[in-house]
Amino acid sequence: MSDVIDGAIPPKENTKLFGHSASESFLASAYKTGKVHHAILLEGPQGIGKATLAFKFANHVLSNPEYDQAPDSLADPDEDSPVYKQIAGGASHNLMHIKCETDPKTGKVKSAITVDDIRKTGRFFSQTSGSNNWRIAIIDVADDLNRSAANAILKILEEPPKRALFLVLSHSPGRLLPTIRSRCLSIRLKPLDDEPLEKALTHLDALRDLDQDNIKQLLHLSDGSVSRALTVLNYGGAELIQTFNEIIAPNSTVDRKTTHKLCESLASRDQDVSYNFFVEHMISHVMNLAKQAAHNGQSQKASKLAELSDKLTQHKLESDTYNLDRKQTLLSLFSMMDAVQ
């Protein structure tokens, strides 16, 4: 799967961030006082701006290496500055972006960050240890660290190099090793409200052909996520949500053959974005039901649904890790949901 979905701007190139002014102010203030934590965990749902914030803060630090002379706020990166050009072009000697790499054999993005990827981080810090520059590693996302990689990054976090900064991104911090979370300062980013989400989509020129009613519907379906909104727009996300709702409806008239056909379509090689979107929507749906049950005082039902959400997540993770048949994975997820109806 490509790093960036259609209609999006790669975070390292994006100069605009919407909806996270409080987190921006906190980071700017912490850096200016010289009290910035060496490892910052930016956590929150996918597609809300975590990576964009990480690169924006990295740009701020590398553009203002002396913290006491840094501005009080994070300005939008200057596209004409050498620092921005180096970061955007992936050519900065002081920043390393750690993510799932593309497998040269298959041409597909790997499902995990490996210990070899983390060893590159160790070499990165050792090669620049003679300079007085800040060195920044963005781990995008830490949820993708396999066990060996997680243990390797933990060792670096325990004894961080001088003037080193780790920006650790996570969609699901509960999946991280507790020891990694304990060594990071956690900043929780919330899904975007409608206004900043609309501004972000306008910045991407994604709303050009939509009237106000369609924009309102899109915002409703997006759950505060820019990437989810783009998937709804460009990958048939609205139709996938509708089909999912029809399948799980109490008195559903969708037959087994139709469900199999949907799963087979999503399992196709060119359907990575749609497949991941559909599974993530399935898991999110169950978790929202759990929250609703808890709110209504139905603790036993809430616990059962939360457990199901964890099982769905784990099954998806195992399927990705071992490259299992996606059609069978989807059918299994539906069966797991049926078991708790």
Tens place of pLDDT per residue across the chain (341 aa): 346 899 999 999 999 999 999 999 999 999 999 999 999 999 999 999 999 999 999 999 999 999 999 999 999 999 999 999 999 999 999 999 999 988 787 777 888 899 999 999 988 988 755 567 899 999 999 999 999 999 999 999 999 888 999 999 999 898 899 999 999 999 999 999 999 999 999 999 999 999 999 999 999 999 999 999 999 999 999 999 999 999 999 889 999 999 999 999 999 988 999 999 999 999 999 999 999 999 999 999 999 999 999 999 999 988 988 889 999 999 999 999 987 76
Q: Which helix (H) or strand (E) holds 135?
A: strand 135-139
Look at residue 2 in the predicted model and tell me its pLDDT: 45
Look at residue 321 in the predicted model and tell me its pLDDT: 82
Look at residue 128 in the predicted model and tell me its pLDDT: 59
Q: Which fold has domain 21-188?
A: Rossmann fold (3.40.50)
Look at residue 104 in the predicted model and tell me its pLDDT: 80
Spell out a b/e string for 296-318, using b for 16 or more CB atoms within 10 Å of the CB, else e: eeeeebbeebbebbbbbbebbbe
Look at residue 332 in the predicted model and tell me its pLDDT: 97
Residues in CB range of 15: below 8 A, 6 or more apart: 76, 77, 79, 84
Look at residue 129 in the predicted model and tell me its pLDDT: 56
Look at residue 105 in the predicted model and tell me its pLDDT: 78
Instruction: Kindly give the interhelix angle for 256-266 and 326-338, rounded to the nearest 10 degrees.
Output: 140
Look at residue 102 in the predicted model and tell me its pLDDT: 81
Look at residue 233 in the predicted model and tell me its pLDDT: 96
| Domain residue spans of the chain | 21-188, 235-338
